Amino acid sequence: MSETRSVPAPAAGTDDDHGHPRRWAILSVLVLSLIVVVLDNTVLNVAMKTLADPEQGVGATQSDLAWMINSYTLVFAGLLFASGVIGDRLGRKRMLLAGLVVFGVASLLSAYASTPDQLIWYRALMGAGAAIMMPSTLSLLRNVFSAKEFPKALGIWTGAVGIGGAIGPIVGGALLDHFWWGSVFLINVPIVVFGLIAITILAPESKGSQAKADFVGMALSMIGLVSLTYGIIEAGDAGSWTGIEVWGTIALGVLILVGFVLWERRIPHASLDMKLFKSTRFSASSAIITLTFFGMMGLMFFMTFYLQIMKGYSPLETGLLFLPFGASMLVFAPLSNTLVNKFGAKAVGIVAMLLVITNFTVTALVFEADTSVWVVIGLFFITGAGMANLMPPAMNTLMSSVPREKAGVGSALANTLRQVGGALGVAVLGTIMAQVYRTQITDAAPQLPDAARESYASTYGALETGAIPADAAAQVAQAANDSFIHALHTTALAAVAVGVVGLVIIALFFPGKRRAEGTEAPAEAAEPALVEV
């Protein structure tokens, strides 16, 4: 018979100096679990053109394609925070295994979907699986590594995000060149099976504090995040922030999240300690995570259209062009902690943000239809180096501010900020691009039907299906290219502005070299966790 009693348990089989004896093998498995989630998102980006084909795909419309991505994002963002809280109570290993099972089953169903609606719902189920497992990868990492080694492990974890995003298009492109579209989802299944076996064998179970469950707080976080994310997604799809479905759901989400904050401040067993945000370093790190993904996700999403439609690269070739970004993150992210220790988080963060802003600036000022592919490759590599030295310090500051027994909460918060920031970036920058493109193409090609003016992809869709008369096709194609380039420049300038805001936050609030030392102390001072003995 087992009983629950209070004993000190800093890290589920770790000690403060060395961590868990199998920590590096555990890290490998956690990285694999993380990669399969990240890979799936980027795989879908290169498969969109195929899925839109009524013969080779499922005949998805532009709206269907958007919701194949958005259904995943909506569920993922809505469940992330609550999943982290639940993982701290029930066990992070259990949550990771449960999430992998849901993700694997949803991947299998997605591979054999026969209609766009089916694929949208199965993608939503994949989002649920990803939300269940994602916080556990980082919270388990926090618990099996010592405070000294955690920043290095976090750098490797961050690098895995980059390489997973980079190899996704390559894997997806290779599969689409040789197999049917369902293979891009089916490839997840053997990876999930391996992850289930390896995690069961290697990873220790760890739990957080067993205080009274905050069911109201978890419910408010889910409803608020779903409503907010839905409104943001609708704004991005519509290319406008007007209409009750957009501002109404955003306003409702904000109100519910305000209620969540007030509730968390009121109760003694809050899921999220609001006092954390009184720390300028914690708040600044949260803001940098959100702003960086706001700019990057928005711009990287549209680079896919630039490479595949304007430049004419195949899905596999597009994936290979994204590889320098992931490779750069994989190389530089594990080294970021060494640079922070030597120069301080502020200096490293400023240089890293400047590298990211370089991408936006060059895109705004240099990119044209005939821009050399080597410029694209160089920009992706530079941007990866910037992200690799920006995310680990910000994530480490956020995670080290949260007690170990609430590592799942810290992980969930960090990933929620990334997801909502990315969705907001796609929506806001997407709205800017859509409105600029529609204005330009309407003036340049007034003969186009309204449906063909909605986006660059819809214009080229009309050209490929013969909806545009042959004698006007060349003029319309040139007008579409010019309009897209103009819209891309404007969107990139907006991303520059976002990057400058992040630069100011880093300069004002990130710690310098001397203040960067000893950041783990507040987290280690937390009360002992409860474990099963």
Model pLDDT for residues 166-192, shown as the tens digit of each residue? 677 677 777 777 788 888 888 888 888
Whole-angstrom Cα Rg for the chain: 23
Average pLDDT over all residues of the chain:
77
300 in the same domain as 232: no
Separation CA 363–CA 10 (nearest Å): 47
101 in the same domain as 218: no
Q: Could you say which of 168, 196, 212 is where a domain stops?
A: 212
- Among residues 475, 407, 458, 348, the alpha carbon closest in space to that of 138 is found at 407
Residue 400 lies in a domain: yes
113 in the same domain as 29: yes
* Averaged pLDDT for residues 328-340: 82
Q: Could you say which of 212, 235, 253 is where a domain stops?
A: 212
Separation CA 189–CA 380 (nearest Å): 30
261 in the same domain as 172: no
472 in the same domain as 380: yes
Separation CA 36–CA 184 (nearest Å): 11
Residue 41 lies in a domain: yes
412 in the same domain as 458: yes
Instruction: Identify the pLDDT of residue 238.
Output: 64
* Global confidence as pTM: 0.73
Contact 326/162 with Cβ under 8 angstroms? yes
Q: Of 150-164, 247-261, 401-415, 418-432, give the lowest mean pLDDT range.
A: 401-415
* Averaged pLDDT for residues 38-63: 71
226 in the same domain as 196: no
Tokens of 222: 């889910």
| Distance from the first to the final alpha carbon of the chain | 9
Q: Is 469 exposed, middle or buried (0-12, 13-18, 19+ CB in 10 A)?
A: exposed
Q: What is the 3-state secondary structure (H, E, C) of 456-487?
A: HHHHHHHHHCCCCCHHHHHHHHHHHHHHHHHH
Residue 40 lies in a domain: yes
Model pLDDT for residues 198-227, shown as the tens digit of each residue? 888 887 777 766 566 677 877 888 888 888
39 Cβ neighbours under 8 A, 6+ residues apart: 164, 165, 167, 168, 171, 188
* Averaged pLDDT for residues 370-376: 88
Q: Which domain holds residue 323?
A: 280-512
Residue 529 lies in a domain: no
Model pLDDT for residues 304-324, shown as the tens digit of each residue? 778 877 888 876 777 788 788
288 in the same domain as 240: no
pLDDT higher at 501 or 11 = 501
399 in the same domain as 436: yes
465 in the same domain as 363: yes
317 in the same domain as 412: yes
DSSP state string for 252-268: HHHHHHHHHHHHHHH-T
348 Cβ neighbours under 8 A, 6+ residues apart: 336, 339, 340, 389, 393
Residue 285 lies in a domain: yes
Q: Could you say which of 203, 235, 268 is where a domain stops?
A: 268
Q: Of 9-13, 162-166, 207-211, 404-408, give the lowest mean pLDDT range.
A: 9-13
User: From the CB of residue 189, how many other CB atoms can be counted at a distance below 10 Å?
Assistant: 16
pLDDT higher at 74 or 403 = 74
180 in the same domain as 75: yes
Query: Which residues on adjacent β-strands are paired with residue 4?
Result: 532
Residue 3 lies in a domain: no
Instruction: Identify the pLDDT of residue 173.
Output: 73
Residue 311 lies in a domain: yes
Torsion of CA 352, 358, 360, 361, to 10 degrees: 150
Query: Which residues on adjacent β-strands are paired with residue 6?
Result: 530
Instruction: Identify the pLDDT of residue 228.
Output: 81
Instruction: Identify the pLDDT of residue 255.
Output: 92
Residue 520 lies in a domain: no
SS3 531: strand
pLDDT higher at 11 or 42 = 42
pLDDT higher at 201 or 164 = 201
Q: How many domains does the chain have?
A: 3
